[in-house]
Amino acid sequence: MKKIKFLLTMLVMVTALGFTACSDDEEDTIDSFTIVNNSGYDFYEIMMSPSSETTWKDILEDDVFPDGSSVKVSFTGSKNGKWDIRLCKNRDDIDNGYVQFKGINLTGRTKLILTKKGDDLWYELE
């Protein structure tokens, strides 16, 4: 009887530790990072979404994010998650005039730098 009680107690403790470890990872947040616009374009919306979701949140506080400027972005989410970022280049056609980057891992990153290479828009993480 003592063996069964001991085993049940150990099972409960291991299970509780497992749930605690999982929940800590899920509730970690990314406090902030900076987006630097060296792209040659002005943007009229910056939208973010966890890659696992389909809803977007506009994170641009001003009406325009001009070339040569930077903006500090604060948000919460899974520290280990990947994010999608959509940059709207056309004020009159926000649904079609955008560039989108998918699956960006922001873990441990403080800066996303936008650049233009040829006709393409690129990003670099620091």
pLDDT interval class at 19 (50, 70, 90): very low
For 63: left if phi > 0, alpha if psi spans -120 to 50, otherwise beta; the answer is alpha
* For residues 15-42, average pLDDT: 65
Query: Does 66 fall in a domain?
Result: yes
Domain membership of residue 75 as a residue range: 29-125
pLDDT value at residue 60: 86
Query: Does 10 fall in a domain?
Result: no
Query: For 69-97, how does the pLDDT look when each residue is reduced to its tens digit (9 = 90+)?
Result: 999 987 766 656 789 999 999 878 767 78
Structural domains in the chain (count): 1
